[in-house]
Amino acid sequence: MINLFIDDTIAAIATAPGEGGIGIIRISGPKSLEVAEEIFFSMSGKKISEYPARTLIFGNIKDGDKKIDEVLVAYMKGPNSYTAEDVIEINCHGGFISVKRILELVLSKDVRLAEAGEFTKRAFLNGRIDLSQAEAVIDVINAKTDKAHEVAENQLDGSLSNRIREFREKVTELLAQVEVAIDYPEEDIEFIAYTTLEEKTRELNKDIKKLYETSESGKIFREGLKTVIVGKPNVGKSSLLNSILGENRAIVTDIPGTTRDVIEEFVNIKGIPLKIVDTAGIRETDDVVEKIGVEKSMASFDTADLIIMVVDSSSELSEEDREILEKVQGKETILLLNKTDLPQVIDEEEVKKYVNEENIIKISALHNEGIEDVHDRIEAMVYKGDIKSSSNVIITNSRHKDALYRAMKSAEDAMRAIEDRMPLDFVEVDLKNIWDYLGYINGDTVSEDLLDNIFHNFCIGK
Ligand code: GDP
């Protein structure tokens, strides 16, 4: 358990940069109220501390005699605040100047600029939320679809924390039994210990495994289903992209520092964030596509979660089609027979040799026909398990997945040790390992370095 003594006060702009109606400066720490009272003057003439906490107070921010902006100030006394510390939020006019000048003024009063994610980190360190909840905060902010948002909100509410706590309680019970049997090494106690341990450890193992298995689909909500659209020139890839993007376009991000070709588009397919990779390549003219060549698109195959391959069903399968079909073997592939509005020439029996029949869909990208079937198919592929129900806890974070995997392996070790009637000390070690690995998830057993790593991915002001 990390026990840091936090005694400094931090501040940052909490709203997104740019022009907007309101900008918010957030201050957290023991000096929040004192600093705010130095620079804020309410219209009523009363001090912030004379109002009940959580009141929005109207007034001016002043630097000496100079008015900076007209604002609303709220004081949230710890522990009833986001960070569980004393927090002041100053709502000023949006744009660049007001927020910047107020922040600078605050920072001139022995307050330091907050690091990325530091407010949320404090909420964790002060014990208001556990680590999986803190991590859910960034997932809520980054969610690309309603479903991804819902999953993150669930985690923020503590659904995963509760599940992990239940698991750990079970481990604690098991450990207690093992310890009794070690302390009182009579034969009959030992016998009972082994039989009950066996049953309970098996149950625990099953529960952990079940949770672990949600991670395969869960990761998709957080990171997007990495999708590559392939096919030789002129089969209709751009047309398909346009019809998929149609109403479903979510977000386009330019990845800084990479070539201008790499653009990610997020498309919302029935709540699944589809991350279509390398769309710039698809959009280029045919000769550029040829220049980039099949070779290059093959490179993105390895990391893709889903490959959508397009062929032109109004002509025969060509060598080039076959070459690509060979390469998609064994990958999650949906094969689209495009241009169904034209007379059909393709040999359907032949394509079935390459791709599972249920993953072959006829469409006309030009006329927007069959696109719904593509969406249904993607949905079916993602929701392989029973994770669709929102009441279920879903593992979306690869760090949690890794910790669960280790916990699961330790549970298997414990099972084997019990089955083989190994000395109970061995079993005890495995059980302790399970306990520790589960603790990574809620932050009970994490290092400071790991925490820094996690919170660095947050935005400033969160
Ligand atoms: P890409 O090179 O694979 O990206 O293919 P495009 O999307 O640029 O399409 C090549 C040509 O095929 C264009 O003239 C499209 O209008 C046409 N096309 C695409 N989809 C269809 C379709 O479903 N039916 C018909 N008849 N033509 C299509």
Residue ID of nearest Cα to ligand 1 atom 6: 236
Q: How far away, in angstroms, is 137 Cα from ligand 1 center? A: 42
pLDDT tens by residue, 110-127: 999 999 999 999 999 999
> How many angstroms from the chain centroid is the CA of residue 366?
35
Angstrom distance (rounded) from CA 404 to CA 34: 45
Report pLDDT for 4: 60
The order of strands in the sheet holding 272-277 is 249-254, 263-269, 272-277, 225-230, 306-312, 333-338, 360-362
Q: How far away, in angstroms, is 286 Cα from ligand 1 center? A: 12
Q: Is 457 one of the annotated binding-site residues? A: no
Ligand 1 pocket by Cβ (under 6 Å): 231, 233-239, 282, 286, 338-339, 341-342, 364-366
Q: What is the dihedral sign for C-alpha 317, 322, 323, 329? A: positive
H or E segment to which residue 337 belongs: strand 333-338
Token pair of 291 as six digits: 């220049």
Strand partners, 384: none
- Whether residue 198 has pLDDT greater than 60: yes
Give the atom of ligand 1 at the shortest distance from the alpha carbon of 231. Answer: 3
Q: Is 183 one of the annotated binding-site residues? A: no
**In the CATH hierarchy, which top-level class contains the domain 140-214+393-442?**
mainly alpha
H or E segment to which residue 293 belongs: helix 286-301
Token pair of 156 as six digits: 């923020």
- Please state the domain extents for the chain: 10-129, 140-214+393-442, 224-383
Angstrom distance (rounded) from CA 275 to CA 382: 14
Residue ID of nearest Cα to ligand 1 atom 19: 236
Q: Is 207 one of the annotated binding-site residues? A: no
Residue ID of nearest Cα to ligand 1 atom 16: 366
Q: CATH assignment of 224-383?
A: 3.40.50.300
Question: Residues 51, 66: contact at Cβ < 8 Å?
Answer: no
Angstrom distance (rounded) from CA 223 to CA 218: 9
Q: Is 281 one of the annotated binding-site residues? A: yes
Using DSSP, state whether 369 is helix, strand or coil: strand
Token pair of 265 as six digits: 């588009």
What is the pTM for the complete model shown?
Answer: 0.77
Give the atom of ligand 1 at the shortest distance from the alpha carbon of 367. Answer: 23
Question: Residues 375, 336: contact at Cβ < 8 Å?
Answer: no
- Which of 234, 290, 297, 310, when mutated, tests ligand 1's pocket best, judged by the most ligand atoms within 8 Å of its CB? 234
Of residues 8, 15, 26, 46, the one with CA closest to residue 88: 26
Q: Is 255 one of the annotated binding-site residues? A: yes
Q: Which residues of 119-144 are buried (b: 16+ CB within 10 A; e: fewer)?
A: bbbbbbbbebbbbbbbbbbbbeebbb
pLDDT tens by residue, 305-354: 899 999 999 999 999 899 889 988 888 899 999 999 999 999 999 999 99
Q: Is 55 one of the annotated binding-site residues? A: no
Q: Is 237 one of the annotated binding-site residues? A: yes
- Which of 310, 318, 366, when mutated, tests ligand 1's pocket best, judged by the most ligand atoms within 8 Å of its CB? 366
Angstrom distance (rounded) from CA 79 to CA 88: 13
Report pLDDT for 217: 78
- Whether residue 171 has pLDDT greater than 80: yes
Average confidence score pLDDT of the chain: 86
Question: Residues 265, 255: contact at Cβ < 8 Å?
Answer: no
For β-strands 87-93 and 66-76, DSSP reports them as antiparallel
Q: How far away, in angstroms, is 236 Cα from ligand 1 center? A: 4
Q: Is 154 one of the annotated binding-site residues? A: no
User: How many other C-beta atoms are found inside a 10 Å radius of the C-beta of residue 197?
Assistant: 21
Angstrom distance (rounded) from CA 261 to CA 250: 19
The order of strands in the sheet holding 112-113 is 40-42, 56-63, 66-76, 87-93, 22-28, 10-13, 112-113
pLDDT tens by residue, 78-95: 999 999 999 999 999 998
- Which of 239, 309, 362, when mutated, tests ligand 1's pocket best, judged by the most ligand atoms within 8 Å of its CB? 239
Give the atom of ligand 1 at the shortest distance from the alpha carbon of 239. Answer: 7
> How many angstroms from the chain centroid is the CA of residue 351?
37
Domain 10-129 classified CATH 2.40.50.140?
no
Residue ID of nearest Cα to ligand 1 atom 2: 234
Q: What is the ipTM of this complex?
A: 0.98
Report pLDDT for 293: 47
